Amino acid sequence: MGHAPLLMIVLAAGKGTRMNSALPKVMHKIAGRSMLGHVLALSGQSETRSVAVVVGPDMDAVATEAVAHVPSAQIFVQHYQRGTADAVLAAREALQNHSGDVMILYGDTPLLQPETLTYLTAALDAGAHVAVLGFRAKDPTGYGRLLTDSRGDLQAIREHKDASDDERQIDLCNSGVIAFRVPRLAELLSRIGNDNAKGEFYLTDAVALAREDGLRCVVVACDENEVLGVNARDQLATAESIWQTRQRAALMRDGVTMIAPDTVWLSYDTKIGCDVIIEPNVFIGPGVTIEDGVEILANCYIVGAHISAGARVGPFARLRPGAKLGTNVHVGNFVEVKNSDMASGSKANHLAYVGDGSVGAGANIGAGTIFCNYDGFTKHRTTIGEGAFIGSNSSLVAPVKIGAGAYVGSGSVITKDVSPGALALERCEQEERPGWAEKFRIMMSRRKAKS
C-alpha cells in the first residue's frame, strides 16, 4: 500500500535562551552537523514530498541552514511565540497547498531515527487519523501526558501544568512529534484556543478536537533518548554522547575495531570500511572516509581527509582538509598533512609538515621536513616524484618540484627544482675549531664569577 504524499513541517523558531548563546538553538551542532540539519536529513530518508521550516524573526541564519540541507524547503516566520499550534499555522500556506499527510517535527530533537517516522506513517495507513510519538519517561515532570482509553487509543494530551494529580502519575509522555491524515488540517488547528495555564495555542489540543470530530488518534512509542529535546548546554552534551554511542556501535557491528570506543569521536558523515582498527583518543571531524584495513593509532585528529586501504596513521598525527592518503601510506607521529595527496606506499613517519603538496608513490619524507607553502600572501605547491628521498630537517620552499628518484640531503633548504635521480644539497661548509669549547667554558665561568 502506498503512502499519501507527506509534508514535513519543522518548528525551529525557539530562541533557546537557556543555551546562553548568540547562535540560534537549532544551529548548535551534534557530530559536526547542526541539530536542524539532523532533523532535515530525515526528509531524505523518508517519503517526504515537501518540507516547510518555521523560524523566528531575525533568524536568517536558520533559514539559510534549512535551505542548505533541503534546497526546496519553504521558509515561514512565526513573528510572535504564541505556542506550537500558532507555529504550525505560520506555515498555513504550505498546509493549504498540500494534499496528504502532515508530520510536525522540532529542530531541537536531533536523535530521531528515520524508521520511527516510518512507524508513524504506518499507523496512519492502519486507520489512524492522528499518530502521536510518545515515550515512557523516567521522570515525567514537565512533559505533556498522553491520556489513552481502554482500547489504547489516544483521548487527549494534557500539558503538565494543566494536568490533575492523577494524570501527573502517568509516565507515557508526549514527544511533540505528530503525524496527521486529516483533510483541511489548517481548519482543525485554527479551532485551537489558548485557555490554559500559559495562555498559549497548544498543538497538542488538536487531539481532543480530532476526537470530537470522530477521528481516531493513536500513540506510537519510541525510546526516550530518541526524542531528547535540547534546551541547554548540558542537554547538548547528552545528545552528543547518545549519538556517538549509537554510531560507534553501528560501525563496530559493520566490522570496525575500536580499542576504547568511548574515546573515539565521529561525525555525521564519517565513512569507515571493514577491518579498520582505531586506537584510543581519536577525533574524526566532518568529511572523512577511511577505507578497508586502515590502522588509526592513538591520539589522532582527522578532518576532511580520505585514507585509502592499508594505510597507517599516527600516533599523534593530524590530517587536515584535503589530505588524501593512497594505499599503504604511512603518516607517523607529529606529522601534519593538509591539502596534499600522498601516493601509494609513500611515507612521512615523524615530525613533518606536508602542506599543499603531491608526494609520489614510494617517496620518503624524512623527520623534520617542512613544505614551506605560504609566502604571506599565497599558497604554493610542492611536488615530489616517485621514489624520491627527502632527508631529515629539510625545508622545501614552494613552488618547487623534486624529480622521481631524487635525493635531498638532510638539512637542506631547497628553493629550485631538482632533476630526477639527482642529489640536491644546500649547506654551508662545516667549520671546526679545535679546543674552542674548553676556552669558551673557562671564559664564561670567569665572567660569571665576577658578576
Residues with Cβ within 8 Å of residue 236, at least 6 apart in sequence:
19, 28, 30, 230
Sign of the alpha-carbon dihedral angle for 206, 210, 211, 213? positive
Q: Which entry of 28, 98, 129, 350 is annotated as an active-site residue? A: 350
Same domain, 123 and 264: no
52 assigned to some structural domain: yes
447 assigned to some structural domain: no
Catalytic residue at 350? yes
* Cα 343 to Cα 296, 326, 356, 358, 437, distances in angstroms: 18, 5, 14, 8, 47
List the domain range (segments joined by +) for residue 318. Answer: 257-424
All cell numbers assigned to 94: 504550505
Give the pairing of strands 154-158 and 145-148: antiparallel
All cell numbers assigned to 330: 604511512
What is the C-alpha separation between 379 and 328, in angstroms, rounded? 28
All cell numbers assigned to 236: 547538548
Predicted confidence at residue 1, as pLDDT, reads 43
Q: Of the candidates 251, 263, 262, which has an alpha carbon nearest to the alpha carbon of residue 288?
A: 251
What is the C-alpha separation between 394 and 372, in angstroms, rounded? 10
Claim: this prediction has a pTM higher than 0.75 = yes
Predicted confidence at residue 386, as pLDDT, reads 98
Same domain, 150 and 275: no
CATH number at residue 158: 3.90.550.10
What is the C-alpha separation between 242 and 256, in angstroms, rounded? 19
What totals of helices (H) and strands (E) does the chain contain, helices first?
9, 36
Number of domains in the chain: 2
How many other C-beta atoms lie within 10 A of the C-beta of residue 273? 18
DSSP helix/strand/coil, 160: helix
Quick one: CA torsion of 289, 292, 293, 295, rounded to 10 degrees?
10
237 assigned to some structural domain: no
Which contacts (CB < 8 Å, 24+ apart) does range 92-95 have? 92/186, 94/7, 94/9, 94/50, 94/52, 95/7, 95/9, 95/185, 95/186, 95/189
Sign of the alpha-carbon dihedral angle for 12, 92, 220, 197? positive
Same domain, 150 and 283: no
How many other C-beta atoms lie within 10 A of the C-beta of residue 82? 16
What is the C-alpha separation between 135 and 156, in angstroms, rounded? 15
Same domain, 217 and 267: no
CATH number at residue 298: 2.160.10.10
Same domain, 81 and 177: yes
Q: What is the pLDDT along the chain (451 residues), one digit of tens a residue?
A: 456 789 999 999 988 889 999 999 999 999 999 999 999 999 887 777 899 999 999 999 999 999 999 999 999 999 998 999 999 999 999 999 999 999 999 999 999 999 999 999 999 999 999 999 999 999 999 899 999 998 889 999 988 888 899 999 999 999 999 999 999 999 999 999 998 878 889 999 999 999 999 999 999 999 999 999 999 999 999 999 999 999 999 999 999 999 999 999 999 999 999 999 999 999 999 999 999 999 999 999 999 999 999 999 999 999 999 999 999 999 999 999 999 999 999 999 999 999 999 999 999 999 999 999 999 999 999 999 999 999 999 999 999 999 999 999 999 999 999 999 999 999 888 889 999 999 999 999 999 999 8
Predicted confidence at residue 263, as pLDDT, reads 98
